[in-house]
Structure 1
Amino acid sequence: MERRRRPSQGCSLLRMIKKAACLDESAPDTGKGKNKFKSQLCTNKVSHGFHLVEGQSGHDMEDYHFAEYRKKKGHVLGLFAIYDGHLGDRVPSYLKENLFDNILEEQNFFEDPKTAIKNAYHSTDKVILEKSLQLGPGGSTAVTAIVIDGKDLWVANIGDSRAVICRGGVADQLSVDHEPHIERRRIEKQGGFVTTLPGDVPRVNGQLAVARAFGDENLKAHLSSEPDIRNVRIDSRTEFVILASDGLWKVMSNQEAVDMVRHIRDPQSAAKRLTTEALARKSKDDISCIVIRFG
């Protein structure tokens, strides 16, 4: 994601030259998997593939992904997420290790997934802020997808990492891009401000390019950790879901992404195709992508 401005002395020219020289040699994070749990409740096949590529923004990789299948209380769960950090990777790393556990530990998860997800997002952010000395001043966006028994999909997000579903070839954005200019009224009501300098994007207090995020202790009075949550049923028209950081969406529309990989059956190949195209379109940010296939 668009990072906060940093003091010039904080970015060494030597480090940038070294990074540029070795960029092509850095191995991408890539892989795939599928649900192997058996359950009478689970009637749909679910598989996934992912591909992450470090960007050229002069900082270490700050994108993390999560993709795992679990069986809980007789239900089969597919758990997927993209976490796009800023000012370091400690917060997205913490989210990778803890957010889904916190969601599933909510007592009412299966009865009321929306409330459970909302509560877990808030409680996780609270702990991150309490651990700010350990986790640092940075933060992270998040887009999470939970597939229950192959037929019920819950998507939640804060920030500008995005979820897009393909049904019958048509792209539908399931998440909300939390951009500062859209939430200007709330931010100003809480004592903050939104600036847009020439050639730049709108930023909260001139620093952060999203209006909602985990962490960011110094900006938290003006940021929200309230997730947008959406529930959709997976039916015969549902083909796949794309989760990706803004490194992809900055250079590609939702429908373009869907059209590009609709006929690629292998989800890992589809994820790699999207990240490769984003690089070809000169995206400079870290690019992370998960494709979740149904049927």
Structure 2
Amino acid sequence: MTTKTKVAGCDDEYASSLQLASQIPRRSRRRIMAGYDDEDAVILQQSLKLGKGGSTAATVIPIDSQKLMVAKFGDSRAVMSRNGVAHQLSVDHEPSNERKYIEKIGGFVSNIPGDVLRVDGQLAVARAFGDKRLKIHLCSEPDITHQAVGDQNEFVVFTSDGI
């Protein structure tokens, strides 16, 4: 019997995929996290050329045609169609969900009426690549989940509000 954990802002199926993530080999998890760290470092090093902004990301890696490893942060999303029904593979990293972490490292989450919550009054996500001016209060560590797949799975869609 599987115990389901309630995760803020996500459905039971996504919460179950977070629990299954513990079954992902540690070496694979470390490699994905290292890849995200490396990309963040490149973007930060090139910030004068690229500008002061940043980016969010979603990555899906198929494994043995039976599983998907999903890594993501920020407000990029991955959605899978299964038998014609959309199933979320990720949830947004909103400042409200990571307020304690942000405040613990010296940042703040603004709550201006009529606006979304923002890290240091500027960014509407709590995890991102780049954003050098805010990096001290942002994390670039992705959530990594594990999703079983089969013949009923049709396709995966990646979305972003920036494109």
The answer on whether the counterparts of 1:163 and 1:241 sit within 8 Å (CA) in structure 2 is yes
Asked whether 1:122 is paired with 2:37, we answer: yes
- What is the aligned counterpart of 2:155 among 240, 261, 265? 240
Unmatched runs of 5 consecutive residues or more in structure 2:
1-24
Instruction: Give the aligned residue type for 1:157.
Output: K
Residues 215-234 of structure 1 aligned to structure 2 (within 5 Å): 215-234=130-149
1:199-253 Cα offsets, whole Å, 9 max, x none, are: 111111110110000001110010000101112232122122221113xxxxxxx
CA distance in 1, matches of 2:80, 2:88: 6
Deviations 1:250-270 (A, max 9, x none): xxxxxxxxxxxxxxxxxxxxx
Q: 1:152 aligns with which of 67, 92, 96?
A: 67
Give 1:185's aligned residue.
100
Cα offset, 1:133, TM superposition: 2.3
Which of residues 127, 130, 133 in structure 1 aligns to 2:48?
A: 133
Q: Name which one, 1 or 2, has greater alpha-carbon Rg.
A: 1
Partner of 2:112: 197
| 2:18 aligned partner | none
For residues 188 and 124 of structure 1, do their structure 2 counterparts lie closer, same or farther at Cα, with a shift above 3 Å needed? same
The offset of 1:183, in angstroms, is 0.6
* Aligned ranges 1:13-52 → 2 under 5 Å: none
Q: Does 1:143 align with 2:62?
A: no
Matched, 1:113 2:48: no
Q: TM-score, normalised by structure 1?
A: 0.44
Report the Cα offset of residue 180 of structure 1: 0.7
Question: What amino acid does structure 2 have at the position aligned with 1:189?
Answer: K
- Higher deviation after alignment, 164-173 or 181-190: 164-173
How many residues are treated as equivalent by the alignment?
Answer: 139
TM-score by length of 2: 0.76
Higher relative contact order (CA 8 A, sep 6+): 2
Distance in 2, matches of 1:174 and 1:121, equals: 18
Counterpart-to-counterpart distance in 2, 1:174 and 1:114 = 17
What amino acid sits opposite 1:190 in the alignment? Answer: I
2:121 is aligned to 206
Q: Could you list the per-position Cα deviations for residues 54-100 of structure 1 after superposition, in whole angstroms to 9, with x for gaps in the alignment?
A: xxxxxxxxxxxxxxxxxxxxxxxxxxxxxxxxxxxxxxxxxxxxxxx
Match of 2:82 in 1: 167
Structure 2 counterpart SS, 1:240: strand
Go from structure 1 to structure 2 and tell me whether the alpha carbon gap of 1:111 and 1:157 turns closer, same or farther (over 3 Å shift). Answer: closer
RMSD over aligned Cα atoms: 2.0
| Amino acid across the alignment from 2:129 | F
